[in-house]
Amino acid sequence: MSPPNSRRAAVLLTAATTAMLTTAVPAHAAPSGPATPTGLWASTIGTGISLIWEQPRSGPRATSFRVYEDDRVVARVSTPSTYLEVPFGSSHTYTVAAVDQRGRESARTSPVSGQSWLYGYNPECMPVAGVTVTATDITATGFTVSWTRHPLGGDLELRVGGRSLGPVSTTGARVGGLTPATAHQVVLHRPNRCHIGGGGTVPVGSLTVTTAAGSATPPQSPTGLTVSGRTDSTVGLTWTAPPGPRPARYAVHDGATLVAVTTGTTATVDRLHHATWHRFTVAALDAAGNESAPSNAVSAGTETCLSEPPRPAVPDVTAVSSSTVRLSWTLETAATSYTVFDRDTPVATTRYPELVLTGLPPGSEHVYRVVATLPQACGDTPRSRRAEVTTPDGPAARPAAPAALSVTGNAPGAWPSGAQLTLAWSASTGGEPATVHRVYEGAQVVGETTGTSLTLPVGAATTHEYVVVAVGAAGQESAPSPRVTVRATYLPPP
């Protein structure tokens, strides 16, 4: 399985619909539940913003994460990373909280900021700051080295005393098998991807670490570390014991994090998140705690799909008029689309966690449930529990639905973050005469007109989904037109 790109499937945000997609929360919720995520990092290039973070293994297990902009939830995901589609050339500041299976939230992380941007030249050639390297848990034979993420992302190569320990995609590693009371030079290198003088690697961070005093000789290293199995939350490992005296125990690390201690030559690492990749090593320890050099490193991913995906929350449903109801819901993981059922009949599919259903009969009873389609071909979630609503009494006549909704214009607006989309449709024919046409995005009205076209300002490089309905004199709405999805254009700087 190739490394999954969990950033591909996240909640998509636009300038026009941020309020529609966000959920208000208390500004100062009391910390509880899982430990606070660490190492939150935002990419600062491209037409969106990528976020990645790490979750401590202490406390209640985190089953999902909520990404906040100010005090509003802008993404709910079940992996420690996400991709946010935002207007091109705009800046945003985020925090993240972890959530356990009881719905308890951790305290939020420190904020990070990112800007969606696409430089007119290779950002790899720009001067960038290096990474900060620190060392902890220093013993006579080993230490843990950690570093901040490089601003341009990508794996780094770890070298200790001139010896390469290979590429590392995490932000730390455990180093063992060292000589006591000795200085060791730690250097991180990154591939040189600049088109001017590119090739090879360049150092991006370094540190000198001196091991503690002692006279012990570390054990020999285990060999043959391999993956024996995996689920969406665990990875099984097996290895071969080193020759010579039997080690007192083995320590398994995922990057810099100790994830298992065992006396045997197998381990199952748990409390992982689906569709995530890990770098495991194992070291042998003697009775005094002296550790060997790490085994060969193994990169392994958990299963991409959740074995028990969460179901959408019970929809919040409101009868807006005798012809229209509004629904909204939440899902504690990423989804590519949602399908709304009225009893057992699918009545609408949308990319947003809310929508309006129009053209309904007055005084009609409805029982709604929602199913989410998961990214990476992971299928559908179970249906939500049901929500019931009855439309109020009113005129039975409805205008006919508009037809042939299409995008007839997609032009840049105010540079760099603006764009303009023009929609056009065929007028309603038949039924109650239409007095106005109303354009919806999700459950929000984004425009009205007495004509059959409308131009909307949106964020550049953002994606939108629209329907249009005809409205009668008494305010009753027709059934919707077919939905149309469009990505707004953008103009990168030269």
Asked if residues 70 and 63 have their Cβ atoms less than 8 Å apart, the reply is no
Domains of the chain: residue spans and CATH:
6-118 (2.60.40.10), 133-301 (2.60.40.10), 316-390 (2.60.40.10), 403-487 (2.60.40.10)
What integer pLDDT is reported at residue 494 of this predicted model?
Answer: 64
**What is the C-alpha to C-alpha distance for residues 398 and 163, in angstroms, rounded to an integer?**
76
As a whole number, mean pLDDT of residues 214-241 equals 95
Q: Across the strands, what pairs with 12?
A: 85
What integer pLDDT is reported at residue 316 of this predicted model?
Answer: 98
Write down the residue that tokens 């037809």 correspond to: 403
As a whole number, mean pLDDT of residues 50-59 equals 94
| Residue 43's pLDDT band (cuts 50, 70, 90) | confident
Q: Residue 112: which residues within 8 A CB-CB, separation 6 or more?
A: 40, 41, 42, 51, 93, 94, 95
**What is the C-alpha to C-alpha distance for residues 457 and 16, in angstroms, rounded to an integer?**
8
pLDDT above 80: residue 459: yes
Per residue in 260-293, pLDDT tens?
A: 999 999 999 999 999 999 999 999 999 999 999 9
pTM higher than the cut 0.85: yes
| Residue 306's pLDDT band (cuts 50, 70, 90) | very high
The helix or strand, by DSSP H or E, that contains position 437, with its residue range, turns out to be: strand 436-441
Q: 48-57, 75-84, 127-136, 301-310: lowest mean pLDDT where?
A: 127-136
Calculate what percentage of the chain has a pLDDT beyond 90: 81
As a whole number, mean pLDDT of residues 38-52 equals 89
| Residue 96's pLDDT band (cuts 50, 70, 90) | very high
**What is the C-alpha to C-alpha distance for residues 243 and 233, in angstroms, rounded to an integer?**
33
User: Got the DSSP string for 315-363?
Assistant: PEEEE-SSS-EEEE---SS--SEEEEEETTEEEEEESSSEEEE-SPPTT
**What is the C-alpha to C-alpha distance for residues 75 and 68, in angstroms, rounded to an integer?**
7
**What is the C-alpha to C-alpha distance for residues 92 and 468, in angstroms, rounded to an integer?**
31
